[in-house]
């Protein structure tokens, strides 16, 4: 018995059921149906314009594709595993509905360039969607930065208290991080936005097609230059998931801080009850599950990137069936990052900082030591010498159980006769923060300028 497959002309036996189960991708690539149908519409229109299809055939194809799309939208379309993928399911259904005209649609194209088209169009949209979600997270940070402008907290290096900073300055660090993510995705979108259709299996088509017409109809910036590269290329998918990986890693860093800050040991933030859970055995517990889950999900996105990188390693030109394995990691990365960004934006909009506790934490650990060293530099002391002077003053404070600002002028002058009464302006936390006025600095005026600029960039009145 001959094969019932659309590609089965040279086969004398039906595909084994085990092979059908192993090779099928329809259970996950069905989410590409809108892009597959849009590509088919543009391709059919071009074929008709080039005289390869008649006007009547084009009308039948467009009608059939619309019916299929409406049925998939409604959940009434029956996907068939034996037809392997989204392309063959749609094409087979089209042929059954309109007859031979449906079979003519595949002229001058292959599933190789068809899937490259579908995936590019899908990822192009995902760049926009995730970009919008990133904007939502950025806006949440800007709103918080304005709300807590003027409040201080410890800044950390090596997880040790380093220098006092403004809460808003810390928040705007994440604004910058997610801003880079947004521009990376936009750049990724621009680079992938070349139409692969017309490359066919790997050597193009001998039919008189117009690739530029299809590209323009589908909002591409142009067409790919080399058909062999086109059908074997998954750089665009790898680059996209790489961008997603950085997004998720930034979310993970933020989540780690939220987890730490919500502990009794820090007690810097209060995460709203709606975004926490309790313990099944300890009644007093309030667990920061959302940040923990986002942090944990980072492994999924990193894993997706590793899967794609491994997939193309050593893969010869041109198309190989290995590339069927590209879509599940891409889809999982999309779903994970989109969900994480969405829930994080909600959490941030309901986050409260414990400003008194944060301010109190800046009063310990001689956190204005660097400011004292800078004070001495202004007085003409070489920085390395100033560093040693202040280090000895800090050692004295540790021995006495006090802070630098607790020392008398006489005690300070014991370490350097250049120290005068005005030193107390920089030894106090507020003076320390406000003394840093350089561009990118943490001084109140600079931070307020940065908040205002971010508000303008985000369209926040």
User: What residues act catalytically?
Assistant: 158, 279
Q: Supply 298's token pair.
A: 């980072």
Closest CA to 190 of 256, 110, 131, 270: 131
Find the angle CA(125)-CA(307)-CA(178) to the nearest 5 degrees.
Answer: 45
Greatest Cα pair distance in the chain: 103
3-class DSSP assignment, residue 107: coil
Residues 6+ away with beta carbon under 8 Å from 286:
271, 273, 276, 278
Bridge partners (DSSP) of residue 238 are: none
Query: How many angstroms separate the CA atoms of 419 and 452, rounded?
Result: 37
Determine the Cα–Cα distance for residues 226 and 231; give it in Å rounded to an integer: 9
Cα atoms found within 13 Å of the Cα of residue 333, Cβ hemisphere only: 29
Residue 71 to residue 380: CA distance in whole angstroms: 79
Residue 61 token pair: 């194809």
CB atoms inside a 10 Å sphere around CB 208? 10
- Report d(CA 152, CA 261) in Å as an integer: 14
What CA–CA distance (Å, rounded) separates 357 from 140?
Answer: 22
Token code pair at residue 194: 């070349």
């Amino acid at each position: 018995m001959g094969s019932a497959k659309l590609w089965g002309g040279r086969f004398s036996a039906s595909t084994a059921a085990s092979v059908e189960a192993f090779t099928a991708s329809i259970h996950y690539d069905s989410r590409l149906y809108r892009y597959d149908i849009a590509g088919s519409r543009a391709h059919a229109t071009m074929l008709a314009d080039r005289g390869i299809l008649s006007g009547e055939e084009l009308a039948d194809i467009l009608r059939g594709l619309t019916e299929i799309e409406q049925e998939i939208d409604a959940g009434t379309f029956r996907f068939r595993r034996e037809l392997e993928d989204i392309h063959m399911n749609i094409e087979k259904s089209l042929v059954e509905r309109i007859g031979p005209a449906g079979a003519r649609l595949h002229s001058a194209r292959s599933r190789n360039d068809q899937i490259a088209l579908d995936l590019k169009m899908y990822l192009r949209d995902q760049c926009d969607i995730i970009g919008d979600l990133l904007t939502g997270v950025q806006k949440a940070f800007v709103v918080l930065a304005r709300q807590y402008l003027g409040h201080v907290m410890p800044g950390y290096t090596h997880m040790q208290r380093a220098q006092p900073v403004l809460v808003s300055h810390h928040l705007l660090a994440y604004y910058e991080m997610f801003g880079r993510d947004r521009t990376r995705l936009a750049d990724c979108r621009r680079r992938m936005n070349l139409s692969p259709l017309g490359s066919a299996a790997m050597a193009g088509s001998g039919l008189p097609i117009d690739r530029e017409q299809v590209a323009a109809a589908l909002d591409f910036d142009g067409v790919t230059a080399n058909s062999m590269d086109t059908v074997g290329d998954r750089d665009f998918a790898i680059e996209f998931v790489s961008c997603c990986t950085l997004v998720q890693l930034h979310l993970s860093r933020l989540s780690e801080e939220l987890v730490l800050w919500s502990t009794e040991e820090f007690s810097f933030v209060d995460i709203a009850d709606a975004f926490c859970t309790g313990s099944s055995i300890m009644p007093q517990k309030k667990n920061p599950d959302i940040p923990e889950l986002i942090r944990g999900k980072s492994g999924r996105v990193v894993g997706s990137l590793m899967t794609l990188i491994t997939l193309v390693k050593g893969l010869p030109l041109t198309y190989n069936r290995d590339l069927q394995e590209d879509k599940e990691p891409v889809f999982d990365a999309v779903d994970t990052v989109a969900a994480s960004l969405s829930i994080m934006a909600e959490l941030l909009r309901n986050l409260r900082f414990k400003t008194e506790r944060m301010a109190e934490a800046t009063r310990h650990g001689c956190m204005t030591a660097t400011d004292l060293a800078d004070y001495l530099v202004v007085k003409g002391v070489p920085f390395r010498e100033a560093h040693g002077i202040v280090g000895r003053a800090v050692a004295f404070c540790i021995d006495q159980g006090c802070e630098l600002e607790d020392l008398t002028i006489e005690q300070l002058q014991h370490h350097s006769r250049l120290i005068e009464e005005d030193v107390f302006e920089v030894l106090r936390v507020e003076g320390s923060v406000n003394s840093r006025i350089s561009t990118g600095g943490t001084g109140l005026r600079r931070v307020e300028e940065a908040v205002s600029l971010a508000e303008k960039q985000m369209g926040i009145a």
